[in-house]
């Protein structure tokens, strides 16, 4: 089936000199592009998928994505900002603006609030390990932040958990890996079904524990 994000891992299944089909306008990650050239794989563009119930690339481009990081995540934030702009998302940068030491909860909260309030569609938070930013973001009712470090965690967080904030550990993964993970995460729809019941229970926990 044609897909809207093509990564290096996808090409591992394609024989040298072979062909792979992707929808017109699909995102081809840099690693995938280099691998296609190296192994003479032809990337064929087809009409985009219109499968009902999915968030197609065309329907999500242009939506606002909030991004924030502390000093440990600043450089990765700057790189991911450029990729988001290249993918035609509206980028809302909530800081920090340098590598001067700051506190990650401030920026994670700002991003989570932007998403939970509906000001932005999704959010990205970054610090050195990603753990602290994920914890802080999840203190905001309505934010569901997931620390992702590979394709599997990114896909699961969207399909099963309807995560609306992704957390990265800038010192734990290379920038190009973060780029691939982010592309996949943004493109993966929530599966709904039995998973919706579980999301509803998460929301109920938030409601029961709101400060009077």
pLDDT in tens, 146-184: 999 998 999 999 999 999 999 999 999 999 999 999 999
Per-residue pLDDT at 59: 52
Closest CA to 106 of 118, 91, 119, 96: 96
83 has catalytic annotation: no
Q: Average pLDDT, stretch 47-74?
A: 68
CA pseudo-torsion sign 36, 2, 85, 149? negative
Asked if the model's pLDDT at residue 49 lies above 50, the reply is no
Q: Average pLDDT, stretch 114-120?
A: 96
Would you say 26 and 58 are in contact if contact means Cβ atoms under 8 Å apart?
no
47 or 133, higher pLDDT: 133
Mean pLDDT of the chain: 88
Rounded Cα distance between 161 and 119, Å, is 21
Question: Can you tell me whether residue 166 is helix, strand or coil?
Answer: strand
Q: Average pLDDT, stretch 54-82?
A: 83
Please report which confidence band the pLDDT of residue 24 belongs to, taking 50, 70 and 90 as the band edges. Answer: low
Query: Which residue is catalytic, options 71, 83, 160, 195?
Result: 160
Please report which confidence band the pLDDT of residue 93 belongs to, taking 50, 70 and 90 as the band edges. Answer: very high
**Distance in angstroms between the alpha carbons of the first and the last residue of the chain:** 50
Asked if the model's pLDDT at residue 81 lies above 90, the reply is yes
- Residue ranges and CATH numbers for the domains of the chain are 5-46 (no CATH), 62-187 (3.40.1400.10)
Please report which confidence band the pLDDT of residue 52 belongs to, taking 50, 70 and 90 as the band edges. Answer: very low
Quick one: how far is CA 38 from the chain centroid? 27
Provide CB contacts within 8 A for 186, sequence distance 6+: 60, 65, 87, 89, 122
Q: Average pLDDT, stretch 73-89?
A: 95
């Amino acid at each position: 089936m044609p897909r809207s994000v093509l990564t290096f891992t996808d090409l591992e299944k394609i024989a040298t000199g072979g062909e792979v089909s992707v929808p017109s306008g699909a995102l081809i990650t840099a690693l995938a592009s280099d691998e296609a050239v190296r192994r003479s794989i032809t990337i064929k563009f087809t009409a985009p998928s219109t499968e009902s119930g999915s968030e197609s690339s065309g329907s999500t481009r242009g939506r606002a994505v909030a991004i924030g990081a502390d000093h440990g995540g600043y450089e990765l934030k700057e790189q991911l900002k450029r990729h988001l702009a290249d993918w035609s998302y509206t980028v809302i940068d909530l800081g920090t603006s340098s590598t001067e030491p700051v506190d990650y909860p401030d920026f994670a909260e700002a991003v989570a609030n932007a998403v939970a309030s509906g000001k932005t569609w999704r959010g990205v938070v970054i610090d050195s390990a990603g753990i602290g930013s994920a914890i802080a973001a999840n203190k905001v009712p309505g934010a569901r932040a997931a620390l992702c470090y590979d394709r599997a965690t990114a896909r699961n967080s969207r399909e099963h958990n309807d995560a609306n904030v992704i957390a990265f550990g800038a010192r734990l993964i290379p920038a190009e890996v973060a780029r691939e993970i982010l592309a996949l995460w943004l493109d993966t729809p929530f599966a709904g079904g039995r998973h919706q019941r579980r999301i509803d229970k998460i929301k109920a926990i938030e409601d029961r524990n709101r400060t009077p």
